[in-house]
């Protein structure tokens, strides 16, 4: 996992104000602490040490390690020279905390702060025991408190650093979630566009084909059978009305994507009227069904209707077939659809430029089914076969 980016630094004016406040507090704390602990407060010892430690804090954010090393060095020099009686660790508290809380990449601030602190305490124990002339009891009493203060200081700085990391990780997760949400929204939009494109292709292609068949029937029977002409024109008008209703439903989806589209009234029960409209003198279509067609769920029912519609449309347009068989079987947890004809390959006839077969395949795969389309093994012709699983559906 990639390390989250470091928190954005505060504005320069805010950082400068905090640095000045820390510098002032450090200077006052060193002087007041020296007096409170009974040390000497003179111009040659505690005063210049306090000023030096406070001035170094003005650049603590830019060079935290250098500030800590120079501060510790100043304390060691002043204490070992006998110029001040201030403590070893607590005068440098701000520099220790700054380095320990530093969370920028490539800067292990906490490890450096702990190492410098242990080194300073080791020097203090050695100096107090030898040059300072303190007994082991006195060394333990004075430096034990300073060691405890250093541990508390580093723990607090580490907690603050971990809080910064947590906030950075949280911001990163929120940003990643927002990006994933945008990608998901884009994917859904693409799927919706693909679905609308399939519907438009099926509706328009089927409507033009059926209307063309009926108009041809009307033209051929205009003089000999006016009643047949009238029936063909009525059928063409009905198909046109259904297509207009379907197109209005799709336009409704485009204008108001947050609302459910109108029911296009297409499903397995409507396959019979669909076959009747497409049957003609040149093409005899036989429909065979088994199982409870009304019990098929709506998405599967619509997909079956569109598959039969598109397969028969391709047969009429390209196959030059004289017979087509449509079989729909519902049962054993699935719906099986077969559409066969005795004509030539619709893909070859259309030059492979149509989108009907691909649209049928996408519909079936979207419902976790299997789809195939190709030449028949025997007798010539073309076969379209789809199997769509329907869990808990066993009529």
Q: What is the dihedral of CA 170, 176, 181, 184, to 10 degrees?
A: -150
Q: Look at residues 320, 246, 304 and name the one whose alpha carbon lies nearest to residue 272.
A: 304
User: Residue 234's pLDDT is what?
Assistant: 72
- Find out whether 339 and 308 touch, Cβ atoms under 8 Å: yes
Q: Which two tokens stand for residue 363?
A: 């519909």
Asked if residues 193 and 253 have their Cβ atoms less than 8 Å apart, the reply is no
- Average pLDDT on 226-255 reads 65
Ranking 16-25, 101-110, 371-380 by mean pLDDT, the lowest is: 101-110
Mean pLDDT for the stretch of residues 253-276: 65
Query: What is the mean pLDDT of the segment spanning 154-183?
Result: 83
Q: In percent, how much of the chain has pLDDT > 70?
A: 72
pTM score, two decimals? 0.42
Q: Would the pLDDT of 319 be above 50?
A: yes
Q: What distance in Å separates the CA atoms of residue 182 and residue 385, rounded to the nearest whole number?
A: 37
Q: Under a CB-based contact definition with an 8 Å cutoff, are residues 217 and 280 in contact?
A: yes
10 — pLDDT class (breaks 50, 70, 90): very low
At 227, the pLDDT band (50, 70, 90 cuts) reads: confident
Whether 262 shows a pLDDT value over 50: the answer reads no
Confidence of residue 259 (pLDDT cuts 50, 70, 90): very low
Q: How much is the mean pLDDT over the chain?
A: 76
């Amino acid at each position: 996992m990639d390390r989250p980016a470091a928190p954005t630094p505060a504005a320069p004016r805010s950082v400068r104000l905090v640095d000045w406040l820390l510098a002032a507090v450090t200077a006052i704390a060193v002087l007041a602490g020296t007096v409170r602990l009974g040390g000497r407060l003179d111009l040659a010892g505690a005063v210049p040490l306090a000023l030096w430690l406070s001035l170094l804090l003005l650049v603590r954010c830019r060079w935290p390690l250098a500030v800590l090393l120079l501060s510790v060095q100043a304390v060691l020099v002043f204490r070992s020279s006998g110029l001040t009686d201030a403590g070893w660790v607590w005068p440098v508290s701000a520099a220790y905390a700054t380095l320990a809380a530093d969370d920028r990449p490539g800067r292990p601030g906490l490890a450096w702060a702990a190492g410098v602190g242990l080194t300073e305490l080791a020097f203090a124990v050695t100096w107090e025991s030898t040059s300072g002339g303190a007994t082991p009891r006195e060394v333990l009493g004075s430096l034990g408190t300073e060691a405890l203060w250093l541990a508390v200081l580093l723990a607090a700085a580490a907690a603050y650093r971990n809080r910064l990391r947590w906030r950075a990780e949280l911001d990163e997760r929120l940003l990643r979630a927002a990006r994933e949400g945008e990608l998901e929204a884009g994917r859904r939009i693409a799927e919706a566009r693909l679905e609308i494109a399939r519907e438009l292709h099926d509706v328009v292609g089927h409507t033009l084909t059926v209307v063309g068949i009926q108009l041809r029937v009307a033209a051929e029977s205009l003089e000999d059978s006016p009643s047949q002409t009238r029936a063909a024109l009525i059928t063409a008008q009905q198909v046109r009305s259904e297509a207009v209703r379907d197109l209005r439903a799709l336009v409704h989806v485009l204008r108001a994507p947050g609302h459910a589209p109108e029911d296009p009234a297409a499903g397995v029960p409507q396959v019979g009227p669909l076959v009747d409209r497409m049957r003609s003198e040149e093409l005899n279509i036989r429909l065979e069904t088994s199982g409870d067609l009304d019990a098929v769920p709506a998405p599967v029912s619509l997909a079956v209707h569109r598959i039969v519609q598109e397969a028969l449309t391709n047969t009429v347009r390209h196959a030059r077939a004289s017979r087509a068989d449509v079989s729909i079987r519902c049962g054993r947890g699935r719906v099986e659809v077969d559409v066969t004809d005795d004509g030539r390959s619709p893909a070859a006839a259309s030059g492979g430029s149509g989108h009907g077969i691909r649209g049928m395949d996408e519909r079936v795969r979207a419902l976790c089914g299997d789809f195939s389309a190709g030449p028949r093994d025997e007798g010539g012709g073309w076969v379209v076969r789809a199997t769509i699983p329907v869990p808990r559906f066993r009529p």
